[in-house]
Amino acid sequence: MSSTLNATRVAFIGLGAMGQPMAQHLISAGFDVVGFDLSKDAKIKLADAGGRAAETISDAMVGASFVITMLPNGKIVREALLGENACGGLKQNAVVIDMSSSAPNDTRELGLELASRGLRLVDAPVSGGVKRAVSGTLTIMAGGEDADIEEAEPLLKAVGQQVFRTGPVGSGHAMKAINNFVSGAGVLAAIEGVLLGRAFGLEPATIVDILNSSSGKNNATEVKMKQFILSETFGSGFAIGLMAKDIRIAADLAKTLGLRLDALASTADAWDAAQKALGPSEDHTRIIRYIEDHNLPRKLANSG
């Protein structure tokens, strides 16, 4: 990496379970990372890794050429960037990279507002969870002008293994919502399939093994059913509230586009109901408890 790139200052806003390892990968790649989080412990951890912690969002952004946001939703991203003119200290023509999951139409509006301030926006949400954030192998879906993505790509490649260009601003967030709809639908299908088989007398572990050797295989059967659901560890690292939010974004987008997608609507309703019943901070794999409580009260894991 060139000395010019090594000197590039990056403001990183949101040092949670995903953001912290991502910021550390940027530090390892030679970027000058100034981070902010509401958690004091998160800021200490960043400093221990070689970054610098700022007391406010505005302080983090002063003199930065890039800003990365890794926050719970688009409303918080917007407030972080525009509240109290936090982005006013950025270098002119700086690139804002929103790696959160946000509503794509809101992202388009944010892009226009940032452009009026002389800033550029790339929406670059990720897939892979905490495990792949730690390993630096995230999949990244980047929306924006090609020149802006090109400029942001060294940062994206520092935290991810694959970077897909999805189209204009907002398209990355649209793709993220679509991905999580398909993922969330797969979780429901896998759990309900196992519950159905168990009710008939099949062993849950055997069902999963056969699915993974057959056309019913999906991400849930491969990396969630035995690992987190049958084992009752429920430790995938992705909250049920975030899954529900992302799938609802996809459902709302469908309505905006005049599409009637019944499977998407029912999947969004199921995840909404589950997160309300269990609490938004619970791991999303714990949705088995909601499904059992409303259909089959016997515990799945103890049967297999």
Higher-pLDDT residue of 294 and 30 is 30
pTM for the complete prediction?
A: 0.91
Nearest Cα residue to 235 out of 195, 283, 193: 283
Query: Residue 67: which pLDDT band, with cuts at 50, 70 and 90?
Result: very high
What's the CATH number for 9-168?
Answer: 3.40.50.720
**Is residue 297 scored above 60 in pLDDT?**
no
Return the structure tokens found at 1: 């990496």
Domain regions of the chain by residue span: 9-168, 174-295
pLDDT attached to residue 300: 52
Which CATH superfamily does the domain covering 174-295 fall into? N-(1-d-carboxylethyl)-l-norvaline Dehydrogenase; domain 2 (1.10.1040.10)
Mean pLDDT of all residues in 243-270:
98
What are the beta bridge partners of residue 283?
A: 239
Mean pLDDT of the chain: 94
Amino acid making up residue 202: L
Mean pLDDT of all residues in 1-30:
84
Any idea which residues carry the catalytic annotation?
Answer: 176
Mean pLDDT of all residues in 266-281:
97
